[in-house]
A and B are shown apart, each in its own frame.
Chain A
Amino acid sequence: MMRPTPIAVDAQVPHMSEIAFAAISVTFHGLTLAMVLYLISVGLSVTMGLMGFVNLAHGAFAMAGGYVMTTLMNRWDLDFAWALLIAVAVVVAASLVLERLLYRRFYGGNELDQVLLTMGLIFLSVGAATYVWGPLTQPMRPPAVLSGQISLFGRSLPAYRTFLIGCGAVIVTALWIGLERTRMGTQLRAAVDNLRMAETLGINTSRLFAAAFGLGSGLAAVGGGLGADVLAISPSYALDNLVYFLIVVAVGGLGSIRGPFFAALVVGLADTAFKYFIPEFGAFFMYALTMAILLRCPAGIFGRT
């Protein structure tokens, strides 16, 4: 999905500077992918760890964010920032309604019912997106300030992706501080640790679930909207990228905010590196790496056993 422009290969032996260029390029694009994957997957990790709910359709929220944002920008000529804000608001509102009407009754229930429900929602999202937007990929046109290249480490890098990494870093920091310092963060940590005890202590878990769900969907919408240039917005988005989201969650460990971040870094960098250096194998080594990590730590890097 993201092979950077190949470097000239006139010399037989790769020159040191070429290797350095390749390393910078891979790191840069890997970081971009990691940020997008993290923003989308962290909500999934929380719903799985907190509510015991396998929301395979989580990617659909990211897709919805991407569609609303690109439509607002391309058809309605809205500002980049406004489009993003409205997209997130729309997705959060929709996800809260869905949580109340649908998801809630399946919390802690039979996994297979959850799989059937969320696969059904994925199919619904594919069908609805095809109906409204057609089968083609939605173009993402960053604002003039962010398009073009900027010079970094002696290499010109796409400005928009640099902005994306910066955005991701800010959001991650805010999330971590929020988790440590705010009331909701404390409640969230308590509920993931021991749901019954948290309930006994008087934490309104029903409201907490809704809040966590809405937050997760909102972050997914941010990831889908900002990352429309990395993970292309098309009707089968939720299905095509499902494996990546699941890998991030499984490798990171359930119910964690920090785990998925490191998992996303590993996945983003490794996937980009493998596809850069040995493209003919596709994602094979990425999958092998995931298997190896999960065999070594079955509960994920940051999971509790």
Chain B
Amino acid sequence: MTVFRDRFTGNDKAMLDRLARRHRLEPVEALPWIAAVTAGFVFSDYLALLAQILATIVFALSVDLVLGYAGIVTLGHAAFFGAGAYTAGLLAANGWGEPLSGLLAAAIAAGAIGLVSGAVILRTSGLTLLMQTLMVAAMLYELANKAHRFTGGADGLQGMQVWPIFGLFRFDMFGRTAFLYCLVVLFLCWLIVRMVVQSAFGRSLTGIRENALRMHAIGAPVSRRKLIVYTLSAALSGVAGALIAQTTQFVDLGVLSLERSGAILIMLIIGGVGQLYGAFIGVPLYMIAQDRFATVDPVNWYFWIGLFMVLLVIFVRGGVLGAIARMRGRIGARK
């Protein structure tokens, strides 16, 4: 956003061109996909981790949709992630291991929970809204724990049998199928999110984030739009949860935990919020760091990631994307 302003202040024609070109795909947008495919070839021993990263990016994208665009601060998106994971997991553990319909079922289940809870809690704002999202996730956590006959409770859900995709591609032990599966699903989710945020609907969400009162005044149906985007985001989170469940063939209560909601928020903030690509930067950074520390220095992992976060927020506000935008702004100003 600052990029636009720095370069084109006072120049209406250029601004207009810029806005007209906004929807077009730019070459730089191919970068994440090139990086993902290259990583798949180069780090072929780590395909399982890469698949997890891709699925988590879907989760982060869905959080970005509500947090970055609609300005709904949530600390409870694990509710939807977990609902999706358990839906796909329970299906696969009870004789229906078809992955694609599992994804769809997860999206519907998570979306339904998003719709119902959103209808109740979205009328609040600020800390109260944050607490409400947190409470929804915490209640689901307790319910999943209580229903241990179905969910396995604290021991986790055992005995998932996921069938080959289209009956052809078996989930192999190297994670090759899992990686490609997650990559394709992520790509589709990214297309959806990109389309949504660049549509008139998406722009009105930004309007609601910036000034809900004015959006009311110009007659935008604020609560309905918030509810729609919340439901959509919940469904996408459900897909992300289902992806993780199907590719790891395991679900435990951690998918619904506060730690999960907090971690995804942290990953997104590290990358940069409300710019569509923050998820693609923050998630790999955090998860690769986590994986490395877990092998090198597992005891002090918390210490190092904590230190990293504190230093980052002191020196680089607005996440990595914010830093890039500032650097570009500085170079542009020098010209």
Contact = CB atoms under 8 A, between A and B. Distances in A.
Interface stretch (B13-21, B48-56, B106-114, B132-140): B132-140
A130 B299 contact: yes
Nearest to B136: A291
A199 interface: no
Contacts of A284: 139, 142-143, 146
A127 B306 contact: yes
B62 to A, nearest CB: 17
Among A120, A131, A249, A294, the one with the most B-chain Cβ atoms within 10 Å of its Cβ is A120
B303 interface: yes
Interface residues of B, number: 44
A80 interface: no
Interface of B: 67, 73, 120-121, 123-125, 127-128, 131-132, 134-136, 138-139, 142-143, 145-146, 258-259, 262, 265-266, 269-270, 273, 299-310, 312-314, 317
A131 B309 contact: no
Given A242-B258, A291-B120, 13 more contacts: A102-B310, A116-B309, A117-B314, A119-B265, A119-B306, A123-B303, A124-B302, A239-B259, A250-B131, A281-B146, A287-B142, A291-B132, A298-B128
> What is the size category of the interface that chain A forms with chain B?
35 or more
Interface string A271-295: 0000000001111100110110011
Contacts of A128: 303
Contacts of A113: 269, 313, 317
A195 interface: no
B141 to A, nearest CB: 9
A48 interface: yes
A54 interface: yes
A173 interface: no
Contacts of A110: 317
Contact of B124 (A102, A131, A239, A294): A294
A112 interface: yes
Contacts of B139: 284, 287-288, 291
B146 A283 contact: no
A294 B317 CA distance: 32
A246 B134 contact: yes
